[in-house]
Amino acid sequence: MSTRVFGSSIKRREDPRLITGEAKYLDDIQLPNMLHAAILRSPYAHAKITSINTKKAEKVPGVVAVFTGQDFKDLPVLPCAWQAGGVKNNVNTPRVLEIDRVTFTGAGVAVVIAEDRYIAEDALNLIEVKFEPLPVVVDAEKATQSGAPQLHENAPNNICMDWSCGNKEGTDNALQNAEVVVKQRVINQRLIPTPIETRGCIAQYNAAAEEYTVWATSQAPHVMRLVMTAFVFGIPETKVRVISPQVGGGFGTKIYLYPEYCLVTALAKRLNRPVKWMETRRENYIATTHGRDHITDIEVGAQRDGKITALKVHTYANLGGILSTIAPGIPTTLYGRMLSGAYKIPNIYCNVKGVYTNTGMVDAYRGAGRPEATYVVERAVDLVSRELNMDPAEVRRKNFIQPNDFPYDPVGILAGLKYDSGNYEMTLNKALDMVGYQNFRREQEEARRQGRYLGLGLSSYLEICGVAPSAWVGLPGQGWGAGLWESANVRVHLTGKVVVTTGSQSHGQGLETTFAQIVADELGVSVEDVIVQHSDTQGTPFGYGTYGSRSTAVGGIALYNSLQRIKEKACKLAAHMLEAAPEDMVFEAGKVHVKGSPDKAKTIQEIAGAAALGYSLPKGMEPFLDDTAYYDPPNCTYPFGTHICVVEVDKDTGATKILRYIAVDDVGRVINPMIVDGQVHGGIAQGVAQALWEGAVYDESGQLVTGSLMDYAVPKADFFPMFELGRTETPSPVNPLGVKGVGETGTIASTPAVVNAVMDALAPLGIKHLDMPLTPERVWRAMNQNH
């Protein structure tokens, strides 16, 4: 009997090639005769382009060509694929290169193609562009006010969308009748995702076949190909092969179709030579999508006993100067619809104004909408606790959705979907046990007597992930322009070795390991006998890609379903081989045996061999064990948990030190605990970074002040204590493996845990709220209000 590998921490199979430097990232790819592109970007946040003179640049030895937007004016603008919130009439998206006007610093206006990258970069300086600067607005709320510079004719007051969910009248009434009402404005500042590898693209054109091969740092190669061919080039999908090589992190930013990818592809044909473009870090900061950037007014009503009765939220969501591929869906479907959190809140209303400003594009960044929603809810619960002078753990307990409430409909705001399963109090209790809550409160009292500021923050988050049901994302008003199912193909070769191809895409998550674990358990083969292939549109079935923590709960289930059909066929063939009745066959631990006679058996290897040889098959059976499954789940999955952060704020400097960090997550059944822990670690680091250090800053003229790693405070490992992780396992009833997603939990949970901890520490000073990042300066100023 083979050991079950589902649930065991086997080492990541992708790591040897990553650790030894054998993995090939985009910039490692060198094609013969390849040219290099460098892009001239607008130094102005808002300006007309009155003329561009490329003559001097063209004369530089080694420069092959220089192009401007005029040269590509026949190509349409890039599409916006998630037109949520009713944006249909005011979609403004990038061109391959902008032609008349730019709306953010960093928009591409010209491209130099040269024999090497250095020549191309140097020649950029010789392009003469006349810009006519226009007035600039960078703040989403100010952009909607009268007199603000107008960015797009089709978006009066710069409002791209004005979207609401919930019950306004009911919420207003409940707020009027509430025994206490707390109001707070909170800023969820803009973040720069910063994967270690920046973006890049190589394109090669085969003139004889009229076909392109495109290598791109993509989290969704099939979607990239679809969108690029159908909406930009107007050519059959079959004419383009997209390969996503090893990708060095994405965090959402590599989902989209960016202008540079289309530009490089067009150039490869025009110049009939392969062309490569690789983003610099500075370009990455100004031209790759950012995340968050909300200004939110919260009104929360409660009874004196701690029961929350109403939550009203108004948000200005900054979308940047133009829309990225799925931008409108983030502050609507993935934010507004999640504002009930883990709580039974009987009245919820949310209004979101998506706003154009002269800043870089904003789209999904790890968590995408759900960190913003969780921040609102978890801060609101703490503000109520403070107002009522109640223990924040107690207020959470009073309002939690209970285990027998599932499937739970959060007062209709989830557009028909229901939370699948959960036991929120269980994770809270476990986290409180791990931290030693009562002891901490005693320690805190003692510290306060000594003039020290110790604080503890809770975050009992809930998230939606495994985004799918196609029927849900395709509902009128949701605006998603495609389905959201996943696919997997399984082939069991003659020797019993298994090749899986998947439409999911791994860029750090470890899917080559966890998907192999699913196969190993179902077929009873060893993990070493399984290869998982992905990231190449040639040879993998269509899939929507990896984001929204969907690979396991959607792609993994397509794989599971495919394996069931392989097993069915194996049973039929084994029955034929053993001269037994198919209905008497049992598939167990890599063998098919006759019910009650375990000795009368054929191994999966023997069966695969027979299927591949095809000498003797049951009547009508095709040779080979090969199956492709497509899976569209009936619901999303809803991971949850409680994170606790313990901090000390220095009374003299305002600096926050994290003393302990406890995370208890429930992501359903766990395939690989070590990988899941790793995902949680990375997520926590990103969420804590938002709370304490990171923040993208634009000045009034639309220049990104935090435009490099010298100015944007990405944390280092020694900023963190060892994370203390716990887990509960509440299976999801949505899928046969009982799995939920984990890729974003840490980011979603951690930000409010840290802010709540700092606010708890500062409570003796009467400080109720400070906006992030909680830098020593900001905290010190609040502690010393007269300075």
What does the binding site for ligand MCN look like in residue numbers (CB under 6 A)? 195, 249-252, 366, 507-511, 514, 546-552, 667-672, 675-676, 679, 682, 739-744
Residue 299 host element (H or E): strand 291-302
Residue 168 host element (H or E): helix 168-177
Instruction: Output the smallest distance, CB 48 to ligand MCN, in A.
Output: 37
Residues 598, 588: Cα–Cα separation, whole Å: 9
User: Considering beta carbons, is residue 164 or 470 the nearer one to ligand MCN?
Assistant: 470
User: Considering beta carbons, is residue 250 or 702 the nearer one to ligand MCN?
Assistant: 250
Instruction: Output the smallest distance, CB 668 to ligand MCN, in A.
Output: 5
- Any bridge partners for residue 356, and if so which? 320
User: Considering beta carbons, is residue 590 or 746 the nearer one to ligand MCN?
Assistant: 746
Residues 588, 573: Cα–Cα separation, whole Å: 15
User: Considering beta carbons, is residue 136 or 362 the nearer one to ligand MCN?
Assistant: 362
User: Considering beta carbons, is residue 152 or 669 the nearer one to ligand MCN?
Assistant: 669
User: Considering beta carbons, is residue 42 or 635 the nearer one to ligand MCN?
Assistant: 635
What's the alpha-carbon Rg for the chain, to the nearest Å?
Answer: 27
Instruction: Output the smallest distance, CB 684 to ligand MCN, in A.
Output: 12
Sheet holding 159-166, edge to edge: 159-166, 348-356, 308-320, 291-302, 180-191
Place of tokens 């059909």: 565
Contact 149, 134 (CB under 8 A): yes
User: Considering beta carbons, is residue 10 or 31 the nearer one to ligand MCN?
Assistant: 10
Sheet holding 240-243, edge to edge: 63-68, 108-114, 35-41, 275-278, 200-206, 211-216, 240-243
Instruction: Output the smallest distance, CB 7 to ligand MCN, in A.
Output: 9
- The DSSP line for 236-258 is -GGGEEEE--B----TTTTSS--
Residues 518, 671: Cα–Cα separation, whole Å: 8
Instruction: Output the smallest distance, CB 759 to ligand MCN, in A.
Output: 27
Q: Are strands 291-302 and 308-320 parallel, antiparallel or unpaired?
A: antiparallel
Number of neighbouring beta carbons within 10 Å of residue 68: 22
Which positions ≥6 away from 450 have C-beta within 8 Å?
Answer: none
Instruction: Output the smallest distance, CB 125 to ligand MCN, in A.
Output: 34
Instruction: Output the smallest distance, CB 387 to ligand MCN, in A.
Output: 35
Residues 208, 27: Cα–Cα separation, whole Å: 27
Instruction: Output the smallest distance, CB 9 to ligand MCN, in A.
Output: 10
User: Considering beta carbons, is residue 559 or 594 the nearer one to ligand MCN?
Assistant: 559
Residue among 767, 692, 664, 731 nearest 393 (CA) = 664
The pair phi, psi for residue 186, each rounded to 5°, is -130, 140
Instruction: Output the smallest distance, CB 678 to ligand MCN, in A.
Output: 8
The pair phi, psi for residue 528, each rounded to 5°, is -65, -20
Instruction: Output the smallest distance, CB 467 to ligand MCN, in A.
Output: 9
Instruction: Output the smallest distance, CB 550 to ligand MCN, in A.
Output: 5
Instruction: Output the smallest distance, CB 291 to ligand MCN, in A.
Output: 10
Residue among 91, 161, 144 nearest 323 (CA) = 91
User: Considering beta carbons, is residue 71 or 420 the nearer one to ligand MCN?
Assistant: 420
Number of neighbouring beta carbons within 10 Å of residue 652: 9
State the DSSP code for 160: E
Residue among 118, 120, 119 nearest 110 (CA) = 120
User: Considering beta carbons, is residue 144 or 505 the nearer one to ligand MCN?
Assistant: 505
User: Considering beta carbons, is residue 536 or 760 the nearer one to ligand MCN?
Assistant: 536
User: Considering beta carbons, is residue 144 or 217 the nearer one to ligand MCN?
Assistant: 217
